[in-house]
Amino acid sequence: MTTPLKFSANLKWLFTELPIEQRYDAAAAAGFKAAEFAWPYDRPIALFRDLLNNSGMQQLLINTPTGKPGTVKASGQACHPDSIDAFRSDFLKSLEYANGMDCRMIHLQAGIRQQDVSFDAAYTTLVENVRWAAAQANNVTLVLEAVNPNDIAGFILRTQGQSSSVIRDVGAANVGLLFDVYHVQRSEGDVTARMREFFPHIRHVQVADSPGRNEPGTGELNWSFIFHALTELNYEGWVGCEYRPATETVAGLKWLSDFVR
C-alpha cells in the first residue's frame, strides 16, 4: 500500500501578499497542515508559538542563519574554516528557535566556498561542523541541500552525490538529504533517477518547476511522473512547496488537484 503525499507551505515563498503574522492562518485556510519558514530570527519565538497555536499548523522546518546578502556568507558559513565559532553560535540559535517552535527539522546551509580555501579544506570543515551540530541536536533532523550554480555560484554542494558524501562521512543518524527538485533539475537533470539513487538519504523534498521556479505545471518538468515516483518509493516525509507563485498564491494552488489530489 502506498503512502499519500503530504504538502507543506514554505512561508518565505508562499502567501507573501500578506505579512508573516497572517501567513500561517492563510496557509491553514488553504488546506496546509505544516509550514516551513527559512529565517524566523528577526522575530521572537513567542510570536511563532502563537501563530502556530492559533492556526493549528505544525512548524516543519527552519534554516540556519545566513550572512548579509551579496557576501560570501549569504548562503551560510558551515564550510568556512575561519568562521567555525560563528557557525556554531548561529547553529545554537537555530536550535533554540527549533525547540521553541516545536520544529523537528533544520536545513543546515552549507555555504559558498571561499575563493582562497581549497575544496578539500572547505569540505573537511563542513563535515566537522555538521558532525558537531548533529551531536547538539539529538531530537532534531538536520538536512543538507545541494544548490545549482545558476542560482548560487560557488555553493560547495552542487549535486546529490556531494551532499550524500557529507552525510556518509558525518555518520550521524539525524543527518539527511533535502532533495530539492528544482535544484536537481537545474544542476543534474534525471530527477527521478537521482531520487531513486539517493532515496535512502532523503529526509525532506521541496518542489518548484524549472526554469522559472514557479509552481509545478509552469515549466518543463513532468510532475505526475515525479509524484508517482515518490509515491512508489513509499516516501513518508513532507513535500515542501518552495516556489515563487506565478500570480497569486491561492490561485496558483490548482496544481495540487491537477497532479496529486
Q: List CB contacts of 184: < 8 A, sequence separation 6 or more.
A: 146, 160, 191, 194, 195
According to the model, what pLDDT value does residue 9 have?
98
Cα–chain center distance at 150: 18
According to the model, what pLDDT value does residue 1 have?
58
Nearest to 155 by CA among 189, 180, 192, 176: 180
The rounded distance, in Å, linking the Cα atoms of 203 and 174 is 9
Q: Which helix (H) or strand (E) segment is 25 a member of?
A: helix 20-29
Mean pLDDT of 96-106: 98
CA neighbours closer than 13 Å in the CB half-sphere of residue 33:
5
pTM passes above 0.85: yes
User: Does residue 137 contact residue 106 with C-beta atoms inside 8 Å?
Assistant: yes
Domain boundaries, the chain: 6-259
The predicted-structure confidence for 183-207, as pLDDT tens digits, reads as follows: 999 999 999 999 999 999 999 999 9
The predicted-structure confidence for 147-183, as pLDDT tens digits, reads as follows: 999 999 999 999 999 999 999 999 999 999 999 999 9
Q: Which residues are catalytic?
A: 145, 242
pLDDT band for 260, please (50, 70, 90 cuts).
confident
Mean pLDDT of 60-81: 94
Q: CATH number of the domain at 6-259, please?
A: 3.20.20.150
The predicted-structure confidence for 2-39, as pLDDT tens digits, reads as follows: 678 999 999 999 999 999 999 999 999 999 999 999 99
